Amino acid sequence: MQQPQDNKRLATLTLAALGIVYGDIGTSPLYAIKEVFGGAHHPVPITPENVLGILSLFFWSLIIVVTLKYVSFIMRANNKGEGGIIALMTLALHNGKAGTWQQKLLITLGLFGAALFYGDGVITPAISVLSAVEGLEIITPAFKPFILPITLAILIGLFAFQRRGTASVGALFGPVMVLWFAVLAALGAAAIIEHPAVLMAIDPRHAVAFLLGNSVLGFFALGAVVLCITGAEALYADMGHFGARPIQYAWLGYVLPALLINYFGQGALLLSDPSAVENPFYLLAPEWGRYPLVILATVATIIASQAVISGAFSITQQAMQLGYTPRLAIQHTSDREMGQIYLPAINWLLLVSIILLVVEFGSSSKLAAAYGIAVTGTMLITNILAIAVATRLWGWSPLRAVLGALPFIVIDLGFFLANSVKIPDGGWFPLVFGLLIFILLTTWKRGRELLSQRLAADAMQLRPFIASIAEGGVGRVPGTAVFMAQDPESVPHALLHSLKHYKALHEQVIILCVKVFDVPYVPAVDRVEVHRLADNFAQVVVQYGFKDEPDIPAALALCAEAGLDLEMMDTSFFLGRETVIPKLGSSMAYWRALIFVAMFRNAGSATAFFRIPSNRVVELGSQVVL
């Protein structure tokens, strides 16, 4: 009986993966071939040799980069089942010595890769939805003035819907994408039947001949060819939601064949009718089928956008837990799915950026120039982090790890350099956007470190403090006080301020420290560590992984097993609230200190972040010069 149940679960997860993971790469046929042969940047002339060469490049890019690199190799580098650039960075840091240049380099690369992901999160919805709606112009040119307004309306509606969560519509994602890939394959197959010679492009010699015979143009063409593999990072990033096997089965058994058939079909159409370069995807369909195809494509691009938006929420939560972003308001949109979250600040930041992007660029062809640089930059960083994982965790020799990654590095570097020439035409956007995000991430981390150092310099050791309290002179009042602290061995500033103001302590005093480890989840059995101290003091260390969702009351309820009983209605939480003042000549550049202060002042409440009942919280302030 177990085997049928396992198969059923695998089939369910595979269907779900189709709906979430493959939206981005699955909507690339809308613009990839069009951009190669009809784009604004170095279009390739439509000749039989060129068409076969480009199709061969598409075929082998999907096989080598997506199938071999991501599906077969990178997915092995998972942090207890979790993938993505943050998870890979934490893996790469294992067994390294903190503070060394190697560790700092890996952290820098990982954070910049995460920052580029936000750039991808802005461009993907813009180019995907815009390219789908542009199909209306193929039906009749009368629609042209309405393409931008319709695109903006769809995107605004998509982001406005985020606060309701995706659980209600998530069940539709899989079936819709199954239909989408079936339509891709059917449209492509019909064209291939009329011009089966395009299947010769499977021979890699056509790709080599195209690159050698068109050295400069071939190099520029790589900047558009890379569009067929955008979204490959999502296969790895979403592995924690579905597992490796469902993603691999969906790719090899359904998505890859459908994509290849459609690309080859578009190539066959161009050989039969070069004028179809105006929009080879939509012109594959018969006239009667173009309205339904526009609708289906629009829904598919909305699904693709949803996956990227959810990914941005998830990566922000991970960065928050690891201390790279300030606390932001998190709303849980599902009672059953832990990963269903909504971050209003990130949601509206993405929407404003996307609106500006769509209005500024105005067409999918112009946006394509901005797209490739973020994707290829992230792919290059993934290679380097994977080498560190192979040497530090898998026991590979450095030579073996570098040689194993070298073919992928060469290919990704070629794609990156080809896209770098488009920096003046739009490629600057994801780099500038990513750099701004990177500055914010590193500034927050460095600022928190300096703030902790300033607070630690004035801190008292906990045990001598407790000994002095035990000597008498301090009154005790009924109830429990919980003081949150970064260091469980030091006296929290909030405790000292409380004692100064109230001249008394609660009957039971708990020093609570939250630690986040570089693993996705910490089991409930390891959630809390309790240490009983003298005079009714206790240390409680609450442990989370970077994908766990903090809940302090739930964690404290687990303390009963260690003999520390808490009555929540009789418990008060004391939190320190520092006012940070920047100073010239400090360890941080003054301009960065100003950024940190602005972020610190606008950070979300610790009360909401840790799910502490607000009516049980007392905040005590102090000033700290950075």
CA nearest to 344, candidates 160, 168, 166, 551: 160
Contacts of 430 (CB under 8 A, 6+ apart): 116, 119, 120, 122, 123, 370, 371, 373, 374, 377
Structure token digits, residue 584? 């010239």
Query: Residue 28 is which amino acid?
Result: S
Give CA–CA dist 368/373, Å, rounded.
10
Return d(Cα 21, Cα 457) in angstroms, integer: 48
Contact (Cβ atoms closer than 8 angstroms) between residue 268 and residue 88: no
Residue 521 CB contacts under 8 Å (≥ 6 apart), including other chains: 80, 545, 547, 548
Distances, alpha carbon 281 to alpha carbons 14, 19, 191, 284, 432, in Å: 26, 21, 11, 6, 32
Cβ neighbours for 299, distance < 8 A, ≥ 6 positions apart:
176, 180
CA distance 110 to 420: 20
Which residue bears the tokens 């309701």?
164
Tell me the three state secondary structure of residue 314. Answer: helix
The CA distances from residue 235 to 26, 29, 57, 85, 170, in Å, are: 12, 18, 21, 12, 18
Say if residue 454 is exposed, middle or buried (CB neighbours under 10 Å; 0-12, 13-18, 19+).
middle
What domains are defined for the chain? 16-446 (1.20.1740.10), 460-625 (no CATH)
- CA-CA-CA-CA torsion for 411, 417, 422, 424, nearest 10 degrees? 150
Identify the pLDDT of residue 83: 79
Q: What are phi and psi of 333, to 5 degrees?
A: -95, 0
Query: Considering all CA atoms of the chain, what is the largest pairwise distance in Å, rounded to the nearest integer?
Result: 95
Q: Copy the structure tokens of residue 196.
A: 């089966």
- Note the pTM of the prediction, 2 decimals: 0.85
CA distance 469 to 279: 78
Q: Residue 20: which of 294, 192, 231 has the closest Cα?
A: 231
Q: What is the pLDDT of residue 203?
A: 96
Q: What is residue 572's three-state secondary structure?
A: strand
Q: What is d(CA 321, CA 113) in angstroms, rounded to the nearest whole number?
A: 17
Q: Are 30 and 281 in contact (CB under 8 A)?
A: yes
The pLDDT assigned to 232 comes to: 84
CB atoms within 10 A of CB 139: 14
Helix (H) or strand (E) run with residue 354 in it: helix 344-361
Single out the residue of 190, 191, 263 nearest to residue 31, CA to CA: 263
Q: What is the DSSP letter of 84?
A: S
- In DSSP notation, 370-419 reads HHHHHHHHHHHHHHHHHHHHHHHTS---HHHHHHHHHHHHHHHHHHHHHH
Strand bridging mode 475-484 / 571-581: parallel
**How far, CA to CA in Å, does 539 sit from each of 277, 481, 483?**
69, 12, 10
- Which residues, given as ranges, of the chain have pLDDT below 50? 1-2, 336, 338
Q: Do 526 and 500 touch, CB atoms closer than 8 A?
A: no
Which residue bears the tokens 């979790």? 82
Name the CA dihedral angle for 60, 66, 68, 71, rounded to a multiple of 10 degrees: -150
By DSSP bridging, strand 341-342 and strand 537-545 are unpaired
Q: H or E segment at 220?
A: helix 215-225
What sign results for the dihedral spanned by CA atoms 30, 36, 37, 43?
A: positive
Give Cα separations from 282 to 16, 243, 260, 463 (angstroms). 27, 34, 16, 73
**Helix, strand counts (H, E) of the chain:** 26, 8
The residues, ordered by sequence, that sit 6+ positions from 464 with a Cβ below 8 Å of its Cβ are none
DSSP for 447-500 reads HHHHHHHHHHHTPPBHHHHHHHHHTS--EEEEEEEEEE-S-TTB--HHHHHHHH
Q: How far lies 264's CA from each of 7, 387, 401, in Å?
A: 33, 34, 35
Instruction: Dihedral sign for Cα 271, 38, 29, 241, please.
Output: positive
Cβ neighbours for 239, distance < 8 A, ≥ 6 positions apart: 75, 78, 81, 82, 83, 84, 247
Strand ranges across the sheet with 617-625: 528-532, 537-545, 504-517, 475-484, 571-581, 617-625
**240 token code pair:** 């924690």
Structure tokens at 596: 């940190």
